[in-house]
Amino acid sequence: MTGPRLLQNFRGLAALVAAPTVPDGLALGLARLGLHLTHLPDPTRPADVDAERHVILLDADQPQAPQAIASLQAGESRAPMVGMIGLETPGRLRMLFEAGATGLLRKPVQAGALYSTLYLAVNAHRQRAESERRLADHDRRRRGRRFVISAVLRMTQREAIDEDAAYEVLRRAAMRSRLGIEAFCEAWLQTETESLSPTPRKRDHG
Amino acid sequence: MDITRIGLLFSTDGPYGAIGRAMLNGALLGLREANESCGAALQPVLANPGGDLARYKLLCSRLIDRGVRHIVGCYTSSSRKELIPLVEKRDALLWYPSHYEGFESAANVIYTGAAPNQHIVPLADHVLGQAAAGHRGPRFFCLGSNYIWAWENNRILREAVLGRGGSIVSERYVPVGEQELGQAIDAILEARPDYVFCTLIGISCWRFFAGFRAACRARGIDQAREIPVLSCSLSEPELAEIPVEARDGHVSSSVYFSCVDSPASRRFVAAYDHDFPAGPPASADAESAYIAVHLLARTLAATGTSDVARVVEAAPLHSFAAPQGEVRLDAQTMHAWLTPRIGRSRADGRFDILYEAARPVAPDPYLVGSGPRLSRVAPSLRIVS
């Protein structure tokens, strides 16, 4: 499997820093790497997050960290998340893991550690998003296979052709319709009025 | 007058000793001038790791034990990486006077050498710009010493080349200090690339240039014209180590060559030759160490303290009319604004300048403004032991 191309230059991304204060060194480190900094001091305030443009840096030690996560993930789009953490306890780490954090910055935050952390966090997030997209696609196709099987059976009976030929007819028709074969078969089974055979229907000479 | 001890940590022998001697000379010249002109009382404390990576930390630690807070030193990135935890822990400041591959801004390091946007990026632009008129994309053979300088420069070159229709026919590495380069030379001649990109350092580099020229001659190939070698580190002290018949026609990207025709450059070369008649000749590495010492001296004089935090804060406020042109530090990255140049080597051990930036270029150690956002697809490499 080929994953998405790796992001190695963070120019133009915005870092949403969900923390009571912006740690020393973080602003400088982000500026060096070409990221804009947006400070989100109020964890309860909904944030407009865009997975393509944002990376979240969350202070995981603040008491309101769960509320901040909820606010940042309220929309459909989940941005890459880095946890800034001093309390390396199972509870805090679990909270970050379940929130989908793919990077950690130990406090006190060192600007020198930022590039490596962002590189891993952003690209792990992109790779995970790509895997999830592929998995969802496979799931959707798997659910649609029953329509393909039904359609092939129906076609073999209706056209008196074997299964391979029936599948080929359906596949070509799906391509003409610019649909996946699963979606095409589902739709065709609901109508099933027109002939799809590229060749004339076999006549009964009996 | 209080004496301030300045550590000069250079490998003046070992596999890249000639470069280390040039850097030490540049630093010593800078100290002499600073003491004479600024009324400073800077006392050099010399340490020579001899190119042995394990000795850098030990010797640096001893310098700090002796009250040294500012150390000008290191050539290779691996030696610099050795020292960073130490200078951070013990609150010292390393003035690193060498070109390097970038992707670093350590809190206790000031970088006066070229960042990648000031050496490899201009070199790639120059070569690919020339090749653009050709019928096909140029083919490159990358040969380097097996460490971060070569790895990262090759990556940057690969992205530039692949993005503009060229190709990398091979990427080979040999251990630092390797002198047997016959196999690599055979491989190059078999591949017949348009260019060799050489990131070998020290004795490996000198042996390669000699061996490659000889092998080409034996086959009737005009190496400098047909398979020119490109480098981001070839300098005058290295040319002096290469046999005269193999010195000319190599293309080097650097922020300084001793042939730069300016009053400051002429003064620098004359003073350097006067103080160090035995050589190695003046070069970019010598100039970078010279710049580091001058900027340090000015900052110390202005702040009146060698306190590291105060010096780091104040250093970007000073500029220096260096041999290469105006130099100052960028406060955000603590790297220097420098003037990129491309030179072609001559048999007399000097360079002709082919290209010169119109003005100093801001450092971009993370290639934020000079590199692609997405990496190219990784090359399918065959590992050869």
Q: Is B105 on the interface with A (CB under 8 A)?
A: yes
| Nearest-neighbour CA in chain A from B373: distance (Å) | 4
pLDDT at A112: 85
Are A148 and A168 in a shared domain?
A: yes
- Listed by number, the residues of chain A in 74-113 with a beta carbon closer than 8 Å to a beta carbon of chain B are 110-112
Domain residues for A152? 140-191
Q: Is residue A9 part of a domain?
A: no
Are A94 and A153 in a shared domain?
A: no
Residue A31 has its nearest CB partner, among B332, B376, B377, at B332
Inform me whether the pLDDT recorded for A1 exceeds 90: no
Are A82 and A126 in a shared domain?
A: yes
Of the three residues A81, A116, A132, the one that is the final residue of a domain is: A132
Total structural domains in chain A? 2
For the domain made up of B4-114+261-337, give the CATH fold.
Rossmann fold (3.40.50)
* Cα distance between residue A25 and residue A174, in whole Å: 56
Residue A9 has its nearest CB partner, among B105, B107, B367, at B367
Inform me whether the pLDDT recorded for A201 exceeds 50: no
* Averaged confidence pLDDT in chain B: 93
Cα–Cα distance list, A86 to A62, A90, A109, A121 (Å):
10, 12, 9, 18
Which tens digit of pLDDT belongs to each residue from B308-343?
Answer: 999 999 999 999 999 999 999 999 999 999 999 999
Are A21 and A118 in a shared domain?
A: yes
Are A120 and A158 in a shared domain?
A: no
| Gyration radius from chain A CA atoms | 26
The full set of domain ranges for chain B reads 4-114+261-337, 118-258+341-356
Pairwise CB contact (< 8 Å): A32 & B106: no
Pairing of strands B195-199, B229-231: parallel
Inform me whether the pLDDT recorded for B190 exceeds 70: yes
Q: What is the mean pLDDT of residues B179-192?
A: 96
Structure tokens at B285: 């590495």
Are A60 and A39 in a shared domain?
A: yes
| Nearest-neighbour CA in chain B from A131: distance (Å) | 18
| Nearest-neighbour CA in chain A from B81: distance (Å) | 12
Residue B105 has its nearest CB partner, among A6, A8, A111, at A111
Q: Is A178 on the interface with B (CB under 8 A)?
A: no
* Cα distance between residue A23 and residue B58, in whole Å: 33
Query: Is the interface score ipTM higher than 0.90?
Result: no
pLDDT band at B135 (very low <50, low <70, confident <90, very high): low
Q: Is B332 on the interface with A (CB under 8 A)?
A: yes
Which tens digit of pLDDT belongs to each residue from A138-186?
Answer: 999 999 999 999 999 999 999 899 999 999 999 999 999 999 999 999 9
Are A64 and A124 in a shared domain?
A: yes
Are A23 and A113 in a shared domain?
A: yes
* Cα distance between residue A179 and residue B176, in whole Å: 58
Q: Is residue A8 part of a domain?
A: no
* Cα distance between residue A184 and residue A175, in whole Å: 9
Which tens digit of pLDDT belongs to each residue from B85-104?
Answer: 999 999 999 999 999 999 99
Are A24 and A117 in a shared domain?
A: yes
Are A56 and A153 in a shared domain?
A: no
Cα–Cα distance list, B292 to B110, B280, B338 (Å):
8, 19, 13
Pairwise CB contact (< 8 Å): A10 & B371: no
pLDDT band at B380 (very low <50, low <70, confident <90, very high): low
Structure tokens at B164: 């503009």
pLDDT band at B372 (very low <50, low <70, confident <90, very high): confident
Which tens digit of pLDDT belongs to each residue from B196-246?
Answer: 999 999 899 999 999 999 999 999 999 999 999 999 999 999 999 999 999
CATH number at residue A118: 3.40.50.2300
In single-letter form, the type of residue at position B102 comes to G
Q: What CATH code would you report for B118-258+341-356?
A: 3.40.50.2300
Are A107 and A157 in a shared domain?
A: no
Of the three residues A113, A132, A151, the one that is the final residue of a domain is: A132
pLDDT at B15: 85
CATH number at residue A155: 1.10.10
Which tens digit of pLDDT belongs to each residue from A157-169?
Answer: 998 999 999 999 9
Q: Is residue A114 part of a domain?
A: yes
In single-letter form, the type of residue at position A20 comes to P
| Beta strand spans in B192-261 (E) | 195-199, 229-231, 251-254
Are A83 and A172 in a shared domain?
A: no
| Beta strand spans in chain B (E) | 4-9, 42-47, 70-73, 93-96, 109-111, 139-145, 167-174, 195-199, 229-231, 251-254, 319-322, 325-329, 336-337, 341-345, 351-356
Q: Could you give the percent of chain B with pLDDT greater than 90?
A: 84
Which tens digit of pLDDT belongs to each residue from B262-291?
Answer: 999 999 999 999 999 998 999 999 999 999
Q: Is residue A55 part of a domain?
A: yes
The answer, yes or no, to whether the previous bond of B372 is cis (omega within 30 of 0) is: no
Q: Could you give the percent of chain A with pLDDT greater than 90?
A: 70
pLDDT band at B132 (very low <50, low <70, confident <90, very high): low
**pTM, to two decimals:** 0.84
Structure tokens at B168: 């990398």
Which tens digit of pLDDT belongs to each residue from A79-107?
Answer: 999 999 988 888 899 999 999 999 999 98
The answer, yes or no, to whether the previous bond of A41 is cis (omega within 30 of 0) is: no
